[in-house]
Structure 1
Amino acid sequence: MHLNIVFLASLAVAQAPARPAFCDSVKNAEAVVRCTASSGRIESCEVLSETPPGCGFGAAAVSILRERDLRPRQSFDRRRQTVTFTVRVPFTFDPPALT
């Protein structure tokens, strides 16, 4: 079964991790996470990769995903089905210009 799951980009921006000093130059990052869900709720997630490594984007992506209910475009019986899916969560930092 293939599910299309959409997450709003603004969620990632609102919950981006505090960046350590070595991550100060990062403008774009991403995490790839595999999750299992049943009854419309995410139960467990595993970080498959994060770029750049060590900046906390994998943990931030898991946090974002675990707070959301699944709302697949394809209808199925959410009460009885367990699904596993992989999602790429992008992070973009565009700081406001100093005036």
Structure 2
Amino acid sequence: MTMIIIALAAALMLDASPKLETVAKLTAREAPAQENYAAPILAVAVTLECTARATGQVENCRVLGETHPGLGFGAAAVALMRDATVEPGDEDFQFARTIQFTP
């Protein structure tokens, strides 16, 4: 009988209220992770200005504008035009072209 009284006294002296640290850990574990993801880029447009030589060779392309600067699409658009040609003509002329990048 003495053992029951000691066990009951010990149980009554224990603090059954949840500790704040334990509650915080459980809450953090149950909550979905908050990760910072950038919104996906659905399309990029790059406008170039180039020179077409009378021979049909395209050269001197430069970026006039792009929807998402700084991500390398401008350089990619210039590289795409590196081997471009147009119909040969009587004289050199400048033209603008917009290149669309889509996933």
Alignment correspondent of 1:32: 47
Structure with greater helix share of residues: 2
Structure 2 CA distance for aligned equivalents of residues 81 and 23 of structure 1:
47
Going from structure 1 to structure 2, the CA distance change for 1:23 and 1:69 (only over 3 Å counts) comes to farther
Please give the alpha-carbon distance, in whole angstroms, between the structure 2 residues aligned to 1:62 and 1:41: 14
Give the counterpart of 2:94 among 84, 90, 95.
84
The amino acid of 1:85's aligned partner reads: F
CA distance in structure 2 between the aligned counterparts of 1:57 and 1:25, rounded to whole angstroms: 15
- Structure showing the higher strand proportion among its residues: 1
What's the counterpart of residue 96 of structure 1? none
User: Is structure 2 residue 60 aligned with structure 1 residue 44?
Assistant: yes
Q: Please tell me whether the aligned partners of residues 23 and 55 of structure 1 are also in contact (alpha carbons under 8 angstroms).
A: no
**Aligned AA (1:65):** M
Distance 1:89 1:50 in 2: 9
Aligned equivalents of 1:84 and 1:23: distance in 2? Answer: 37
TM-score w.r.t. the length of structure 2 is: 0.57
TM-score under structure 1 length normalisation: 0.59
CA-based RMSD of the aligned residues comes to 2.1
Residues 23 and 52 (structure 1 numbering): CA distance in 2 closer, same or farther, change over 3 Å? farther
For structure 1, list consecutive stretches of 5 or more residues without a partner in the other structure. Answer: 1-21, 72-77, 94-99
Percent identity, please.
35
Match of 2:77 among 34, 56, 61: 61
Unaligned runs of 5+ in 2: 1-36
Aligned residues: 66
